[in-house]
Structure 1
Amino acid sequence: MAGALRRLAHPGPEAVTRIEAVETDLVAVEGHLPAGTSVMEAVAAFFSERGLAGGVLRLSGGACDPYRYVLPALSTDGEHAAWYSATIAPAGGARLIEGTAIVGRRDGVPFLHCHGTWEADGTVRMGHMLPLDSVLTEPVAVSGHASRTALFDATPDAETAFTLFSPLGLTAAAPSRPVDRRGLFLRLRPHEDVAGAIAAACRRHGVGAAEIHGIGSINEVVFEDGRRVSCLATEIAIEHGVVASGPDGPVATLDVAVVDIDGAIHRGRLRPGDNPVGVTFELVLVEPFPEEPA
Structure 2
Amino acid sequence: MSELPVVEKGSMGRVAYARIAPNEDLLYGVEKMCLSVGFKNAFVRGALGSLVDGCILGGDGQNLVVKGPAVEIVSLAGEVRSVDDGSVRAALSGVIADPEGQVYGGPFVAGLNPICMTFEVTLEEWLPEDLRAAS
Identical columns (%): 30
Deviation of residue 236 (structure 1)? 0.2
Q: Is residue 219 from structure 1 mapped to residue 49 from structure 2 by the alignment?
A: no
Deviation of residue 277 (structure 1)? 0.2
Q: Counterparts of 1:103-122 in structure 2 under 5 Å? A: none
Q: Is residue 266 from structure 1 mapped to residue 131 from structure 2 by the alignment?
A: no
Q: Which residue of 1 aligns with 2:71?
A: 234
Deviation of residue 196 (structure 1)? 0.4
Partners of 1:236 and 1:273 in 2: CA distance: 16
Q: How many residues align?
A: 115
Deviation of residue 215 (structure 1)? 2.1
Q: Which residue of 1 aligns with 2:95?
A: 257
Q: Counterparts of 1:195-214 in structure 2 under 5 Å? A: 195-212=27-44, 213-214=46-47
RMSD: 2.1
Structure 1 residue corresponding to 2:82, chosen from 228, 239, 245 = 245
Partners of 1:290 and 1:183 in 2: CA distance: 16
Q: Is the 8 A contact 2:41 2:127 kept in 1?
A: no
Partners of 2:55 and 2:19 in 1: CA distance: 21
Q: Which has the higher helix share?
A: 2
AA of the residue aligned to 1:219? V
1:101-129 per-position Cα deviation (integer Å, ceiling 9, x unaligned): xxxxxxxxxxxxxxxxxxxxxxxxxxxxx
AA of the residue aligned to 2:48? I
Provide the TM-score with structure 1 as the length reference: 0.36
Deviation of residue 230 (structure 1)? 1.3
Partners of 1:290 and 1:229 in 2: CA distance: 36
Partners of 1:208 and 1:289 in 2: CA distance: 8
Q: Is the 8 A contact 1:216 1:282 kept in 2?
A: yes
Deviation of residue 246 (structure 1)? 2.4
Structure 2 residue corresponding to 1:193, chosen from 19, 25, 34 = 25
Q: Is residue 183 from structure 1 mapped to residue 15 from structure 2 by the alignment?
A: yes
Unaligned runs of 5+ in 2: 1-11
Partners of 1:226 and 1:219 in 2: CA distance: 16
Q: Is residue 283 from structure 1 mapped to residue 124 from structure 2 by the alignment?
A: no
Partners of 1:284 and 1:216 in 2: CA distance: 12
Bigger Rg, structure 1 or 2: 1
Q: 1:184 to 1:203 in 2, by over 3 A?
A: same
Deviation of residue 181 (structure 1)? 2.9
Deviation of residue 185 (structure 1)? 0.5
Deviation of residue 195 (structure 1)? 0.5
Q: Is the 8 A contact 1:238 1:254 kept in 2?
A: no
Q: Is the 8 A contact 1:203 1:250 kept in 2?
A: yes
Q: 1:263 to 1:206 in 2, by over 3 A?
A: same
SS in 1 for 2:109: coil
Provide the TM-score with structure 2 as the length reference: 0.76
1:109-168 per-position Cα deviation (integer Å, ceiling 9, x unaligned): xxxxxxxxxxxxxxxxxxxxxxxxxxxxxxxxxxxxxxxxxxxxxxxxxxxxxxxxxxxx
Q: Could you say which structure has the greater relative contact order, defined with CA pairs below 8 angstroms and 6 or more residues apart?
A: 2
Misfit runs of 4+, over 4 Å: none
